[in-house]
């Protein structure tokens, strides 16, 4: 009797030894395969077998950042969705809510993150920053100041920075292809 | 030395367990019908029951002492930390001479010296070092952890271990946790009651300040410290990881934060606050730990002996305004990524292609699935989106399932029509 049990046990143990997919991994699979991105957003996986590290490129088709191509890196850790994904803007851009090191001020990436949010919400949130830059939550203070004081000048600065020119002594990365 | 009740060992003396035996020698009004008062239950508790304690910190010290004193004699303990001087005010199994030594080992030695006849087996390392065979040997697992990540890991491991054909594979998990004057104790019966992952949305989110406030309008000492750790550290050190256990790293942050605080005329940046903010330390209260650990051990005792009904299933303690406690049944979540979702065994022919498998899933009426994406824990099989991954996995559609998967492999299926996921176990005809 005991022998039969122990045999069964070892058989089960062998069958169960295969690694299980982690909760974070399943959730990322679900988030990614159900993404409904508009034409203006595209994901890229440098290593397609690694779902936790990828980039998102936003090419706004309206607003003052129209024509630019903005790439963000996404790094997701095993504590997702308890913790939000880590998102950085790769090119150096002139934007009130993005600083020169690529940090992004978007509430749902930090203080307002909740596990019910998903990658789609983060991506839509990022796109929104290019349609409606927000001078009230500045990370690039000068840009925010300019947006508040003189919108036309701000739009001009955005165009200059997107072409890879100098704005107020700071060299920005070229993000337009024309 | 008299052999009381026939189950004495050399280290038991008369009436050693007098008080505990009051509970085990006779049934009470709330005892389980299966409870057999007397020697058998004592023998099980004292000679057979193997219990694992995860964490030998604030809660762990209390849990180990309580279990040893209530008659558990085969206790194992895991902890990956070493003793810090700041632990000594409440982690009473440690002395100043132990600073720097592994918590698990020192705690085990202390208990064995203090409580005769109890064997405590320590493991100094991570819970992730151990596999299912290791966890399978225990009857009960008690957690006194301070990390969400570790809890999620052990919870998922125990839920996945449950095998319907083997009742022994279901390990009751008793989870204790404290934060200042608040705490909780809960009983998780994997696959039967709500699991840790089911209640993930109940967690308080860690305090985070808007990054724009940190960057531009700091008002609190915490804002200055976050400025140093969130913005300045990556700017100066790039990809080098901040090690919050390294005093030199904390020192660097402290000096940067202090400079910024002076600039904005903010008072209150200290070394210990810096450490507290970056490590997200909430002051530990010894009495909260004592209450929660007592509750956990009480549950362990009841589950081991069936001497009384166990907690169903969540006890919370709020000691911030007086002493308030609330007990309720936390319900399972159907869409829980760990214990929810469906699990199906499916039989496929050796010659089947992945495409045929997907068609079969879509046609299956009982699961109602549309546009499924499939993967194993190691690789993607077919993803419906995003376009790049669809393209990368498309060649697999033509491949035979048997070329990609072995008999018994598990596939994770997600789809927008499923609340969470479906797991399939492949069997070949």
Least confidently predicted of A4-18, B32-46, B159-173: A4-18
Q: Is B268 a residue whose pLDDT tops 50?
A: yes
* pLDDT tens profile B115-161: 999 999 999 999 999 999 999 999 999 999 988 889 999 999 999 88
Same domain, B190 and B215: no
Q: Is A142 a residue whose pLDDT tops 60?
A: yes
Same domain, B120 and B151: yes
Q: Is B7 a residue whose pLDDT tops 70?
A: no
- Of B328, B356, B387, the domain-final residue: B328
**Overall number of domains in chain B:** 3
Please report the pLDDT score of residue B61 as a whole number. Answer: 97
Three-state SS string over chain B comes to CCCHHHCCCCCCCCCCCHHHHHHHCCCCCCCCCCCCCCHHHHHHHHHHCEEEEECCCHHHHHHHHHHHHCCCCEEEEEECCECCHHHCCCCCCCCHHHCCCEHHHHHHHHHHHHCCCCEEEEEECCHHHCCHHHHHCCCEEEEECCCHHHHHHHHHHHHHHCECCEHHHCCCEEEEEEECCEEEEEEECCCCCCCCHHHHHHCCCCCCCCHHHHHHCCCCHHHHHHHHHHHHHHHHHCCCCCCCCCHHHHHHHHHHHHHHHHHCCCCCCCHHHHHHHHCCCCCCCHHHHHHHHHHHHHHHHHHHHCCCCCCCCEEEEECCCCCEEEEECCCCCCCCCCCCCEEEEEEECCCCEHHHHHHHHHHCCCCCCCCCEEECCCCEEECCCCHHHHHHHHHHHHCEHHHHCCCCCEEEEECCCCCCCEEEEEEEC
Please report the pLDDT score of residue A136 as a whole number. Answer: 86
Share of chain B above pLDDT 90, in %: 62
Phi, psi of A44 (to 5 degrees): -140, 130
In 3D space, the residue among B390, B394, B311 whose CA is nearest the CA of residue B353 turns out to be: B394
Choose among A23, A32, A116: nearest Cβ to B156. A23
Give me chain B's average pLDDT, please.
90
Choose among A22, A35, A48: nearest Cβ to B156. A22
Same domain, B189 and B297: yes
Asked, for residue B154, whether it belongs to a domain, the answer is yes
Q: Is A160 a residue whose pLDDT tops 80?
A: yes
| Chosen from B155, B162, B211, B232 to mutate, greatest number of chain A CBs within 10 A | B211
Q: A108: which residues sit within 8 A by CB, 6+ positions away?
A: A84, A114, A117, A121, A122, A125
Active site residues of B: 212
What is the pLDDT confidence band of residue B282, given thresholds at 50, 70 and 90?
Answer: confident
Mean pLDDT of B377-387: 89
Asked, for residue B10, whether it belongs to a domain, the answer is no
Most confident listed range (A109-113, B61-65, B422-426): B61-65
* pLDDT tens profile A98-109: 999 999 999 999
Distance from CA of B243 to the nearest CA of A (A): 17
Please report the pLDDT score of residue A2 as a whole number. Answer: 28
* pLDDT tens profile B322-353: 899 999 999 998 878 888 867 778 888 888 99
Asked, for residue B393, whether it belongs to a domain, the answer is yes
Distance from CA of A80 to the nearest CA of B (A): 10
CATH number for B63: 3.40.50.720
Q: Is A5 a residue whose pLDDT tops 70?
A: no
Do B141 and B127 meet the contact criterion of CB atoms below 8 Å apart? no
Same domain, B219 and B163: no
ipTM of the complex, rounded to two decimals: 0.77
Please report the pLDDT score of residue B11 as a whole number. Answer: 62
Please answer yes or no on whether A116 and B149 come within 8 Å at the CB atom: no
Same domain, B249 and B297: no
* pLDDT tens profile B93-119: 999 999 999 999 999 999 999 999 999
Please answer yes or no on whether B420 and A30 come within 8 Å at the CB atom: yes
* pLDDT tens profile B10-54: 568 889 999 999 999 999 887 888 788 889 999 999 999 999 999
Asked, for residue B7, whether it belongs to a domain, the answer is no
Same domain, B94 and B198: yes
- With 0-12 CB in 10 A as exposed, 13-18 as middle and 19+ as buried, what is B164? exposed
Do B383 and A33 meet the contact criterion of CB atoms below 8 Å apart? yes
Same domain, B81 and B181: yes
Please report the pLDDT score of residue B427 as a whole number. Answer: 87
Asked, for residue B15, whether it belongs to a domain, the answer is no
Asked, for residue B48, whether it belongs to a domain, the answer is yes
Which residues of A, range 18-57, sit inside 8 Å of B by Cβ?
Answer: 18-23, 25-27, 29-30, 32-37, 42-45, 48-49, 51
Same domain, B215 and B289: no
- Of B328, B360, B393, the domain-final residue: B328
Most confident listed range (A103-117, A133-147, B59-73): B59-73
Same domain, B123 and B265: no
CATH number for B415: 3.10.290.20
Which range marks the domain in which residue B67 is found? 25-203+284-328
Please report the pLDDT score of residue B207 as a whole number. Answer: 77
Please report the pLDDT score of residue B157 as a whole number. Answer: 92
CATH number for B245: 1.10.10.520
List the single residue in B with minimal CA-CA distance to A28.
B414
Give me chain A's average pLDDT, please.
87
Asked, for residue B335, whether it belongs to a domain, the answer is no
Q: Is B183 a residue whose pLDDT tops 70?
A: yes
User: In this predicted model, which residue has the larger pLDDT, B45 or A6?
Assistant: B45
Q: Please count the other Cβ atoms lying within 10 Å of the Cβ belonging to residue A167.
A: 17
Same domain, B350 and B264: no
Same domain, B268 and B353: no
Please report the pLDDT score of residue B3 as a whole number. Answer: 43
Please answer yes or no on whether B201 and A20 come within 8 Å at the CB atom: no
* pLDDT tens profile B205-264: 777 888 888 988 899 999 999 999 999 998 899 888 899 889 999 999 999 999 999 999
Angle in degrees, 0-180, between the axes of helices B103-114 and B58-69, rounded to the nearest 10? 30
Distance from CA of B373 to the nearest CA of A (A): 7
Please report the pLDDT score of residue A19 as a whole number. Answer: 57
Least confidently predicted of A110-124, B183-197, B302-316, B338-352: B338-352
Same domain, B273 and B165: no
| Chosen from B195, B212, B337, B392 to mutate, greatest number of chain A CBs within 10 A | B212
What is the pLDDT confidence band of residue B364, given thresholds at 50, 70 and 90?
Answer: confident
Asked, for residue B18, whether it belongs to a domain, the answer is no
């Amino acid at each position: 009797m005991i022998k039969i049990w122990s045999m069964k046990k070892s058989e089960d143990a062998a069958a169960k030894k295969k690694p299980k997919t982690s909760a974070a991994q399943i959730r990322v699979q679900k988030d990614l395969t159900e993404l409904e991105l508009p034409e203006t957003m595209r994901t890229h996986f440098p290593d397609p077998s690694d779902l936790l590290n990828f980039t998102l490129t936003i090419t706004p088709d309206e607003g003052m950042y129209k024509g630019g191509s903005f790439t963000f890196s996404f790094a997701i850790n095993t504590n997702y969705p308890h913790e939000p994904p880590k998102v950085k803007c790769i090119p150096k851009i002139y934007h009130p809510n993005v600083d020169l090191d690529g940090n992004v001020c978007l509430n749902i990436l930090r203080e307002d993150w909740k596990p019910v949010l998903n990658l789609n919400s983060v991506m839509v949130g990022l796109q929104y920053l290019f349609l409606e830059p927000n001078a009230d939550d500045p990370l690039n203070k000068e840009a925010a100041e300019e947006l508040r004081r003189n919108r036309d000048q701000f739009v001009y600065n955005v165009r200059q920075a997107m072409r890879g020119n100098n704005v107020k002594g700071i060299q920005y990365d070229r993000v337009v292809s024309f | 030395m008299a052999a009381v009740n026939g189950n004495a060992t050399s280290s038991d003396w008369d009436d050693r367990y007098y008080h505990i035996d009051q509970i085990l020698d006779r049934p009470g009004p709330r005892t389980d019908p299966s409870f057999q008062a007397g020697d058998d239950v004592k023998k099980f508790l004292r000679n057979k029951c193997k219990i694992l304690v995860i964490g030998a910190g604030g809660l762990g010290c209390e849990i180990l002492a309580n279990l040893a004193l209530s008659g558990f004699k085969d206790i194992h303990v895991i902890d990956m930390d070493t003793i810090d001087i700041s632990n000594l005010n409440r982690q009473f199994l440690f002395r100043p001479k132990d600073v720097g030594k592994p918590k698990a080992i020192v705690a085990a030695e202390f208990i064995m010296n203090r409580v005769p006849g109890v064997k405590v087996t320590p493991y100094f390392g991570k819970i992730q070092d151990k596999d299912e065979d290791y966890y399978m040997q225990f009857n009960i697992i008690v957690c006194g952890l301070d990390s969400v990540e570790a809890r999620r890991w052990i919870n998922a491991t125990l839920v996945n271990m449950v095998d319907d054909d083997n009742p022994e594979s279901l390990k009751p998990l008793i989870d204790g946790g404290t934060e200042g004057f608040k705490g909780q104790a809960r009983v998780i019966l994997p696959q039967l009651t709500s699991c840790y992952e089911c209640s993930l949305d109940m967690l308080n989110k860690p305090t985070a300040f808007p990054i724009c406030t940190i960057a531009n309008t700091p008002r609190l000492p915490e804002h200055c410290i976050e400025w140093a750790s969130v913005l300045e550290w990556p700017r100066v050190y790039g990809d080098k990881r901040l090690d919050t256990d390294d005093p030199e790293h904390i020192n660097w942050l402290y000096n940067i934060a202090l400079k910024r605080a002076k600039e904005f005329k903010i008072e209150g940046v200290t070394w210990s606050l810096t450490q507290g903010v970056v490590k997200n330390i909430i002051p530990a209260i010894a009495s909260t730990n004592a209450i929660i650990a007592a509750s956990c051990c009480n549950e362990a005792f009841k589950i081991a002996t069936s001497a009384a009904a166990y907690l169903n299933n969540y006890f919370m303690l709020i000691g911030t305004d007086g002493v308030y406690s609330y007990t309720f049944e936390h319900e399972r979540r159907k869409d829980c990524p760990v214990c929810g979702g469906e699990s199906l065994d499916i039989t496929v022919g050796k010659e089947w292609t992945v495409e045929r498998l997907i068609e079969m899933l879509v046609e299956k009426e009982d699961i109602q699935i549309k546009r499924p994406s499939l993967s194993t824990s190691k690789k993607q099989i077919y993803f419906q989106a995003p376009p790049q991954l669809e393209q990368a996995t498309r060649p697999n559609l033509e491949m035979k399932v048997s070329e990609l998967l072995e008999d018994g492999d598990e596939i994770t299926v997600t789809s927008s029509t499923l609340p969470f996921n479906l797991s399939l176990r492949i069997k070949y005809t």
